[in-house]
Every structure is written in C-alpha cells, then in structure tokens.
C-alpha cells in the first residue's frame, strides 16, 4: 500500500507529531509511506524520521534558503479553503491552500490520512477519488468550537472514516456529529518501547512533561508538590516543556519557596532519557485528548499520578494497579496520591512494572496492525464501489444501445 499522512508541521515538537512519526515508521516495515508537512521552519525534524519515509515539506519558512517561501505574495492572502473556524487559521493562507491542494490532487497514495480538522477538510475536498480518505482527530469533540463542529458535520461526510484516540471521544463524535456512512473508530496513539533501561523507582524525582499552558494545570501540581516537600524535602519535581506560562509558574515556585525543589527544565525531545531519571510521573491536566506522555512514562517504568480528566487517562491508567487517578482540580487529592508513592518504594516499583506491561498495547506495531486492518477494509469497499459504478455505467450503456437497436429495427420494419 502507498500511505500518505498530511500534518501541520513535522519539524516541531508535539504529541501529534510524535505519534504520526511512530505510526509511519511501523507502517514503513510493510508499505510505502510518506509524510507531507504543510510547514517547514528548520533544516531537520526534531524527531528522528526513518529514512524509508519520504518527508515532503509544502511551504518552507526558513529564511535565507534558496526556495524559501517567506515573502511569497500569496502568503499574505487569507486562506479560503482552510476553515476559518479552525484554531490555526491565521497561520494558513492562499499559499497553503494552493500547495496542499496541489499535493493532494497529484497524490498517488492508496490511503490519505489527515491529522487535524482544517487539514481533514482540505483532504475531504481535494483528495483523488480513488484514494481512501481518513481523518484523525487528536483533539476531543468538545474542544472544538460550535462553529467548527457545524463545518465538520458537512465536510466530514466526504470521508471514508474518522478515527479518534479514545473510546469516550469516538462515542461523543457518533452521538453529537453524526456522519451517515462514515465509520467512527477509536485507535490510540502509539509509543515505542524505550531503548534505555527502565527506571528502578529509587530516584527521589517526580517528572512531568507538556506545554506550559493553562489546561495542563501546573499551578495545581506545584501547589500539591509543596505539600510533598513539607514531609519529604529531599524530593524534586522536574517539569519539561515550554509555553506562555513559564514566567507565571516561576513566580509561583519562588513565592512558595520551592526554587530548590521544583525546576522548569525547558523542552526535551525525546523524553526517554528524562523519564528514566525519575520514579514517579505526574499529569495534572483538566483535559487530555489522549496522553502520549503518560504512556511514555509508563513504558519507561514510572507509575503515573494523573487527574481522571477526559478523555485519555482513565482509559490508560488502572487506579491502584499501575498508577493513580485523582479528581481533576483537587490539590489535596493530588498531593495525597503523590505522598502514597513517595513514601513507598516497593509500591512504586510494583506499579512501574505493571505499567510497563500494560503500556505494551500501545506499541506502534500493535497500533499499525489496527490501522492496516482499517485501510484494507476501506480499500476493499472502495474497489467494490468502483466495480459497481463501472457495472452500472456498462449496464446503462448496454441498455441505451439496446434501446437504440430496437428503435432502429422498428424503423426498418
């Protein structure tokens, strides 16, 4: 099979990029795989990409390179095809409309996979008729604005399938965004087995990773960790990531007197080497559409303390078995769950082992097999429809010829 993914920016850092690369590399063992990146802002991708995968940048934003698109006359013209309701609309333009459309219309892929709503709309509109068109939703249904949901209800009808990363979100799409004839399935994101030895649970370090954004609730995590430090002043919290709240969080750390215990580490990619330096992982979000960082931590042998927020954590973590689930927004609840693990090394080690075993179901080969089954089923259906259309056309022509022959015979008589 020839399989192509369409992604916003394959050269950056983010969960969608990580899981797309993981899936593409697993599929490349048996198929011809391509990733088209709408934007390119650096020479090489942050995440290593298998050389078997063809990486195609569509708009080059690097200054000074011979084919840079900075200053292109169309880049200042607002996009018309990319939906205005999409959160990244301002980054798109008439130039991106043109480049994405050209790439789609010239594609020879058997399967085309979009990775965010705006790109899925372009895929639905401009992909060749013979290709299977699949939209991946890495954000939850409820995180989209009402205006975007209305737009998707119309545009997504042209697709062959829609995938979400959790069962809860797939049910929400089926219930609130009905798409007659378009199956909606849950297929999780994937995380490969780490190449490093797993954590042994002895380090007095809690690790968190993700954007420094309000939804991640690092303010809650820092407040909860302040309670941990009162009883265990030799423990440290390391937060990896970048974002607009860095200064605010740094001030909170200073105000609570935690400058020796809570460290804002900046971004790290890949995170494997940082996870294995810890003994506990923490995820304090109000919302996680999935939770790639949770699975990364589990695969590295860390039990995870997480809020039981929609949608991913409750489908990943078994409370009390391979991690802890806490009511969202509860500082005291989060602190209590951390303290249980901080004070019990044997429990940390046991949960870490069970987490590694459970997280194996998210291995890229397992997830790729589920996608291959979906691709094959949709291709068979596509081919069946093509044959049926040909038979109908043939039958129509034959009927017309028969009518013409009968008419001619009648006139002769």
Percent of the chain having pLDDT more than 90? 88
Q: pTM value?
A: 0.86
> What phi and psi, each to the nearest 5 degrees, are found at residue 86?
-75, 145
Q: Report the C-alpha gap between 322 and 360 in whole angstroms.
A: 13
Q: Given a cut of 60, is residue 398 above it in pLDDT? A: no
E strand or H helix at 33? strand 32-40
Residue carrying the six token digits 């004839």: 181
Q: Tell the CATH superfamily of the 205-349 domain.
A: Glycogen Phosphorylase B; (3.40.50.2000)
Cβ–Cβ under 8 Å, residues 12 and 46 = yes
Q: What confidence tens digit (pLDDT) does each residue in 289-308 have? A: 999 999 999 999 999 999 99
Q: Given a cut of 50, is residue 247 above it in pLDDT? A: yes
**Sheet strands side by side (includes 262-266):** 262-266, 236-240, 205-209, 280-283, 304-307, 323-326
CA distances from 324 to 60, 164, 304, 384 (A): 44, 24, 6, 48
Going by the DSSP 8-state scheme, the letter that residue 133 receives in this structure is E
Q: What confidence tens digit (pLDDT) does each residue in 330-373 have? A: 999 999 999 999 999 999 999 999 999 999 999 999 999 999 99
CB atoms within 10 A of CB 66: 6
Q: Report the C-alpha gap between 159 and 118 in whole angstroms.
A: 13
Q: Report the C-alpha gap between 174 and 164 in whole angstroms.
A: 11
Hey, what are 301's tokens?
């042998």
Question: 389 pairs with which residues across the strands?
Answer: none
Return the pLDDT at 14: 84
Which CB contacts under 8 angstroms, 24+ apart, belong to 193-198? 193/299, 193/360, 193/363, 194/272, 194/275, 194/276, 194/296, 194/299, 194/300, 195/272, 196/272, 196/273, 196/276, 196/300, 197/276, 198/276, 198/299, 198/300, 198/301, 198/352, 198/356
103-114 average pLDDT score: 97
CATH dotted code for 2-186: 3.40.50.2000
Q: What confidence tens digit (pLDDT) does each residue in 68-93 have? A: 999 999 999 999 999 999 999 999 99
Q: Report the C-alpha gap between 264 and 295 in whole angstroms.
A: 21
Q: What confidence tens digit (pLDDT) does each residue in 22-66 have? A: 999 999 999 999 999 999 999 999 999 999 999 999 999 999 999
Q: Where are the domains of the chain?
A: 2-186, 205-349
Return the pLDDT at 400: 53
The reply to whether 205-349 shares the fold of 2-186 is yes
E strand or H helix at 371? helix 364-412
Burial of 181 (0-12, 13-18, 19+ CB in 10 A): exposed
What is the chain's mean pLDDT, rounded?
92
- Measured at the alpha carbon of residue 168, what is the angle toward residues 167 and 172, in degrees to the nearest 5? 115
Candidates 284, 303, 300, 288; CA nearest to 346 is 303
């Amino acid at each position: 099979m020839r399989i192509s993914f369409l992604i916003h920016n394959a050269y950056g850092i983010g969960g969608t990029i990580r899981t797309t690369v993981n899936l593409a590399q697993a599929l490349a063992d048996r198929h011809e795989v391509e990733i088209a990146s709408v934007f390119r802002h650096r020479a090489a991708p942050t995440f290593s990409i298998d050389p078997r995968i063809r990486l195609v940048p569509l708009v080059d934003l690097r200054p000074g390179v011979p084919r840079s698109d900075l200053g292109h006359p169309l880049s200042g013209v607002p996009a018309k095809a990319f939906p205005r309701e999409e959160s990244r609309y301002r980054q798109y333009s008439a130039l991106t409309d043109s480049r994405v459309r050209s790439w789609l219309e010239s594609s020879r892929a058997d399967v085309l996979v979009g990775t965010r709503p705006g790109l899925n709309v372009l895929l639905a509109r401009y992909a060749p008729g013979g290709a299977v068109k699949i939209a991946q939703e890495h954000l939850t249904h409820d995180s989209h604005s009402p205006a975007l949901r209305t737009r998707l209800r119309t545009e997504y009808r042209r697709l062959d399938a829609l995938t979400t990363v959790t069962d809860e979100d797939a049910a929400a799409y089926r219930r609130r965004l009905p798409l007659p004839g378009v199956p909606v399935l849950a297929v999780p994101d994937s995380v490969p087995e780490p190449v490093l030895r797993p954590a042994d649970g002895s380090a007095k370090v809690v690790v968190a990773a993700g954007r420094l954004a309000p939804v991640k609730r690092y303010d809650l995590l820092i407040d909860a960790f302040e309670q941990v430090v009162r009883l265990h002043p030799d423990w440290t919290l390391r937060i990896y990531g970048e974002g607009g709240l860095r200064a605010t969080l740094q001030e909170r750390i200073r105000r609570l007197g935690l400058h020796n215990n809570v460290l804002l580490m900046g971004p790290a990619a890949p995170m494997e080497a940082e996870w294995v330096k810890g003994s506990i992982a923490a995820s304090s979000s109000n919302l996680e559409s999935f939770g790639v960082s949770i699975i990364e931590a589990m695969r590295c042998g860390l039990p995870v303390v997480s809020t039981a927020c929609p949608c991913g954590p409750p489908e990943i973590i078994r409370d009390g078995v391979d991690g802890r689930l806490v009511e969202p927004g509860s500082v005291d609840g989060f602190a209590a769950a951390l303290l249980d693990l901080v004070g019990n090394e044997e429990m940390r080690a046991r949960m870490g082992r069970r987490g590694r075993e459970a997280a194996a179901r998210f291995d890229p080969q397992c997830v790729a097999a589920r996608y291959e089954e979906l691709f094959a089923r949709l291709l068979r259906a596509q081919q069946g429809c093509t044959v049926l259309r040909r038979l109908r056309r043939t039958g129509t022509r034959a009927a017309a010829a028969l009518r013409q022959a009968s008419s001619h015979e009648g006139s002769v008589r």
